[in-house]
Amino acid sequence: MTGGVRIGVLHPRVSDDFFYLPVDCFYGVIACHVVIRCMSNDVESLPQDPALLRAMIAALQTENQKMSASLRAHDLLVQALRVRIAKLQKQKFAPSSEKIEREIEQLELALEDLQVALAEADDTPPDEGDAPETNDQTSQPDEPRESRRRRPKVSKDTPRERRELDPGDTCPDCGGELRVIGEDVSELIDMIAAQLKVIEIARIKKSCRCCEKIVQEPAPSRPIARSMAGPNLLAYILTSKFDDHVPLYRQHEIFARMGADIPDTTMVGWCGGAMKTLAPLIEKIEAEIMASDLLHADDTPIRVLDRSRRDKGLGKGVRKGRIWAYVRDQRPWAGTAPPGAVYQFAPDWKEEHVLAHLGETSGILQADGYKGYAKLYTADPDGNCQFREAACWAHFRRDFHDVWAATQSEIAREALDRIGALYDIEREISGKPADLRRTVRQAKSKPKIDAFHAWAEKQLTRIPGKSELAKAFRYGLSRWSSFTLFVEDGRVAIDNNPAERALRPIGVGRRNWLFAGSDTGGETLARAMTVIETAKMNGLDPQAYLADVLDRIHDHMNNRLSELLPWNWTPVRTPAGTVQSQAA
């Protein structure tokens, strides 16, 4: 039982005549059992007596009616789960957010199982079209979202194989000669399974017939010295672990299906060695991003194993660490600096960690109301401060939404509408130059913000001072200069969504690896996320990028390391058609 909800596990049972799929969900009273009759293809086994046949038909009709009712109940259950998940997602930032996230995970898994079962029982073929979409195609918006399935999309660079089904040269009826008048073409998406290979490196020894000098090519460098792991294998393991969130023990099982026994302990050593190889590049990414004068910042909890706590009898041996994300993203205002994200791990939530992370940085910091940032905004005796604070309207809006969802307050509803009008303006100027954004905001957003301020102060005199609605108003009014900075500077975003998006992979990963094994493990996770997420923000396939960098970094001159940064690295195609990579 989690949060008042219990999801029944699907346990199919098969008999000679029936396939039973029980589904139980105790929100209220929804419970259904989907029963699918397995029709026999053996026509000869049917009775010859018309009366018996009519009885069988009547029984089947009754059974079909029951099955239809069950499927309708099944559909209702799916819709109920969707509604429940949607409600919980709106509450993700409440004080009990961790419990709610766990409940969302359970509901999403149950919903997925139900949808698969419903699709299995549905005889209607999926309407996906004859061809997958490519990047330059757009899906048709005419049909409602629930009535159609989105067609799969594939990259235009995806390899294609043509298989021709030729009826021959002669007519099967009269034997006449056939001529081509056209063709019908349909497409399937298939997959080439991953495959391991052993590369045997033979260094031929030769001796000079004149002077007997022995000549041999030097051994090529390896990503990890004296290791059997090649760059593509290491890139696959790192991407699977830190981007796809597949723990190493599961990767061991995957490799076993490929016919390779790679122990978990070996992969642990490979991950550590690969991260050590990538360390100079990661440090350069961190230096480049943290030198920005405009950063987004946010943090999220991560559970860390601490056996000393269990030994002392202080719980289950798990404590709460933090992962911070610092993001540079100038794309919304057409800036020239490439995007990137830096992740930092800390064993707790003390302000000293933030001060250390941002010790050499200054400018504008867009973040939430965490008290640890306060010293960064405090002016020195000369009146100068390290950072100007830019607040997040999405966080502000969330407070009003929580009040409206709980009380249906008309005042909260109006606050949401007023803030929504600001976001309508932001959508119009997304991707525009900073000067244009400032001009539009001064003309359109500033009057709305001034009106919101006056209206908010008036509402505070009408509502109880200790109410949640009053707290929401005071949160914004007490930091008003931070909330209005985006009107004065076209580079500043209306909210801190870039940093929140950067932390989503951590939330996804928690479902799989649950906790970091130690503080050192948390630091490794942060460094890996830095290089992988920065590569993704620059439109790169992180696995292809890591494979190339691991293959070349030892032979690359240190003073040209910047050529391997994600925003300088580009793939090139050789004349033979194979894809290689090089730095720009």
Is 89 domain-assigned? yes
- Whether the per-residue pLDDT at 191 is higher than 90: the answer is no
Query: What confidence category does residue 322 fall into, taking pLDDT thresholds of 50, 70 and 90?
Result: very high
- Whether the per-residue pLDDT at 411 is higher than 50: the answer is yes
Is 83 domain-assigned? yes
- Whether the per-residue pLDDT at 143 is higher than 50: the answer is no
- Whether the per-residue pLDDT at 331 is higher than 60: the answer is yes
Half-sphere exposure of 99 (CA within 13 A, CB side): 8
In whole angstroms, what is the distance from residue 390 CA to residue 573 CA?
44
- Whether the per-residue pLDDT at 430 is higher than 50: the answer is yes
Mean pLDDT of 307-327: 77
Q: Among 89-98, 202-211, 253-262, 521-530, whose mean pLDDT is lowest?
A: 89-98
Mean pLDDT of 265-269: 92
Residue range of the domain that includes 62: 13-41+51-121
Is 72 domain-assigned? yes
Is 56 domain-assigned? yes
pLDDT score recorded for residue 198: 95
Residues 499/391, Cβ–Cβ less than 8 Å: no
Alpha helix positions (H), 24-96: 50-90
Query: What confidence category does residue 386 fall into, taking pLDDT thresholds of 50, 70 and 90?
Result: very high
Domain count, the chain: 1
In whole angstroms, what is the distance from residue 434 CA to residue 489 CA?
7
- Whether the per-residue pLDDT at 245 is higher than 60: the answer is yes
| 579 torsion bin: left (phi>0), alpha (psi -120 to 50), beta (else) | beta
pLDDT above 70 covers a percentage of the chain that reads 74
Q: Among 42-56, 88-102, 329-343, whose mean pLDDT is lowest?
A: 88-102
Give residue-wise pLDDT tens across range 29-81.
Answer: 333 444 444 444 456 677 778 888 788 888 888 888 877 777 766 676 676 66
Is 232 domain-assigned? no
pLDDT score recorded for residue 314: 57
Residues 538/338, Cβ–Cβ less than 8 Å: yes
Give residue-wise pLDDT tens across range 484-539.
Answer: 999 999 999 999 999 999 999 988 877 666 567 788 888 999 999 999 999 999 99
Q: Mean pLDDT for the chain?
A: 82
**Radius of gyration, CA atoms only, the chain:** 31
In whole angstroms, what is the distance from residue 284 CA to residue 583 CA?
15
- Does 298 or 309 have the greater pLDDT score? 298
Which of 533, 298, 509, 504 shows the shortest CA–CA distance to 395?
Answer: 298
pLDDT score recorded for residue 316: 65
Give residue-wise pLDDT tens across range 461-489.
Answer: 999 988 999 999 999 999 999 999 999 99
pLDDT score recorded for residue 46: 75
Q: Give the number of other CB atoms < 10 A from CB of residue 458.
A: 9
Sign of CA dihedral 314, 316, 317, 320: negative
In whole angstroms, what is the distance from residue 337 CA to residue 266 CA?
39
- Does 344 or 36 have the greater pLDDT score? 344
- Whether the per-residue pLDDT at 192 is higher than 50: the answer is yes
* Lookup result for tokens 């607040």: 391
Q: Give the number of other CB atoms < 10 A from CB of residue 235.
A: 24
Tokens representing 191 are 């997959």
State the DSSP H helix or E strand holding residue 315, giving kind and residue range, or none if neither: none
Is 76 domain-assigned? yes
Is 355 domain-assigned? no
* Reduced 3-state DSSP string for 142-205: CCCHHHCCCCCECCCCCCCCCCCCCCCCECCCCCCECCCCCCCCCCCCCCCCCCCCCCCCCCCC
Is 95 domain-assigned? yes
